[in-house]
């Protein structure tokens, strides 16, 4: 199993939206702003999936 401990430290600061810091994870999880998301969902075309076609692939 590969040893992943000695990785170089990331040079860039954390992009916005979570993460960052020195800990192993980003434990702070917000409850989603449901209203904002519902607005985004209402913009979804109800027939979008009907127009979506793909070929079987690997």
Partner 1 sequence: MNEKTNNPVRLYKNNTDFLGHSYGCHENYLMPRRLAWDTLCQGMVAMFATRQILCGSGKFGWEEEDRFLRPGFQISQRSDFFTEMQSVDTMQRRPLINTRDEPHANADAFRRFHVIIGDANLSLFSHYLKIGTTSLVLQSMLNGAPLERFPRVEEPLSTLKRISRDTSWKWECRTLEGHPTTGIEIQRQYLAIAREYCAGEPSDWLQVLNDWEEALNDLERDPMRAADRLDWVAKYRLLEQFREAEGLQPDDPWLQSLDLSYHWLDNEQGLFYGLMQQGAFRLPYPLAEICHGRLTPPMSTRAAVRGYCIERFGPAVELTQWDHLTLRSGDKRIELDLRNLFDVQLIRQSLKVIGAAQTVDDLRYLPFAKLV
Q: Which residues bind partner 1 (CB under 8 A)?
A: 1-8, 10-15, 17-21, 23-34, 36-38, 40-50, 52-58
Q: How far is the CB of 13 from partner 1 (least distance, A)?
A: 7
Residues 6+ apart with CB under 8 A from 20: 13, 14, 26
Backbone conformation region of residue 52, classed left if phi is above 0, alpha if psi is from -120 to 50, else beta: beta
Q: How far is the CB of 35 from partner 1 (least distance, A)?
A: 9
- Tokens for 14? 């954390």
Q: How far is the CB of 28 from partner 1 (least distance, A)?
A: 7
């Amino acid at each position: 199993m590969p040893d992943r401990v000695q990785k170089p430290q990331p040079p860039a600061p954390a992009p916005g939206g979570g993460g960052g810091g020195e800990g192993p994870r980003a434990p702070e999880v917000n409850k989603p702003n449901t209203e904002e998301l519902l607005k985004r969902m209402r913009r979804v075309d109800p027939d979008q999936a009907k127009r979506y076609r793909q070929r079987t692939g690997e």
